[in-house]
Structure 1
């Protein structure tokens, strides 16, 4: 896709919506179920998987001086624009960039490693967070920390990647379907464009797992 819709949705305007609450007395911004329902609910009834049909990617952005908001990217215009206070929707084009061009970027990722292990004869998936760059024990053990891990994830499209800010959130809730815990790593950085076509592909499709819960959305801006 070349054109898309970019929506800025204040979180506080979604926390009280009855169609998101589903009878729950109150929601927590750190609930992965809330984040999923709140964002997917912006698009009304879509047959099949709303996230895949509308190519929905989103993340929680926190900018000093502003209330937290969801930044939502989609190929379908949200239907809820007129009923949610402060919601803003723009039709956009992905930027045309040149190899070697310097950009700033923001991305939300599920920065974990999954390893299949055997426990009592059964196969289980072990999930471990990617260590942060200042984790001295991980560095001493030769483990890959967040910056080189991110460089690998973006290697087809960007190079000379430097992390400027990194915030790790652990989202958790529990319900009748069992407990859910999702790790979301919000990263800001600077890089150079390596392959503009590959970069547009990452911008359109997102990166990694847990896209339904606010991971995967990459944004870039030329310096």
Structure 2
């Protein structure tokens, strides 16, 4: 597995156009491989995420089973003469994960649930729009995903019993775009979580980091990354 980081030159029109379209971003990511990796539900897959750290700091992160070549992105949306990308062997880090370790994490996800307006209608996939429900979506999945979001000491809780976890929503976005050849728009609610976790099941967490969490993985959701807490 490989972890790759690329910085967009947001002063370029092409970069802003690519960043405005999850469809174009997906195509750009998959074009990074001479032979696109097989996307299997039960195996490692290509995951990607956009991090906006400021007006001029926008990064693309990719986790992939094959090493990508981002020459096309450097030429179209980077700094062709001075810019590049960084790719790291992800395997050693993944293999060292151990139960009880604490890490800071970031995750962009598509929190959804099934709902219907009455008993006569079929259920349909519906986005969570409230911050409390979006956080709850993640907390409901933490055990199966191999981690536990760390709880704050009571004296640090702004609202005791409510503001319990080391978890914040960093960014929320409502996206609407059209797939090629389809006139119906695709709508997507994405949420970027920042928080702190404790590893409870290293194998399950490795699966989460390499297979993603939740839906809409083709459109920049599901990739969790860890950093020193």
- TM-score in same-fold range (> 0.5): yes
Aligned to 1:88: 86
Count of matched residue pairs = 200
Give 4+ residue runs of structure 1 displaced > 6 Å after superposition: 50-54
Distance 2:218 2:186 in 1: 13
Q: Does 1:172 align with 2:176?
A: yes
Distance 1:42 1:50 in 2: 18
Residue 8 to residue 50, structure 1, CA distance change in 2 (3 Å): farther
Corresponding residue to 1:68 among 58, 68, 74: 58
Corresponding residue to 2:213 among 194, 201, 207: 207
TM-score w.r.t. length of structure 1 = 0.74
TM-score w.r.t. length of structure 2 = 0.73
Aligned to 1:137: none
Aligned to 2:106: 106
Q: Which moved more, 1:122-131 or 1:187-196?
A: 122-131
Corresponding residue to 1:58 among 44, 48, 56: 48
Measure how far apart 1:11 and its partner are.
3.3
Does structure 2 conserve the Cα–Cα contact (< 8 Å) formed by 1:105 and 1:188?
Answer: yes
Distance 2:191 2:205 in 1: 20
Residue 212 to residue 194, structure 1, CA distance change in 2 (3 Å): same
Does structure 2 conserve the Cα–Cα contact (< 8 Å) formed by 1:81 and 1:89?
Answer: no
Instruction: Within 5 Å, give how 1:208-223 maps onto structure 2.
Output: 208-223=214-229
- Which runs of 5 or more residues in structure 1 are unaligned? 18-25, 134-144
Measure how far apart 1:210 and its partner are.
0.5
Residue 80 to residue 51, structure 1, CA distance change in 2 (3 Å): farther
- Which runs of 5 or more residues in structure 2 are unaligned? 75-82, 151-165
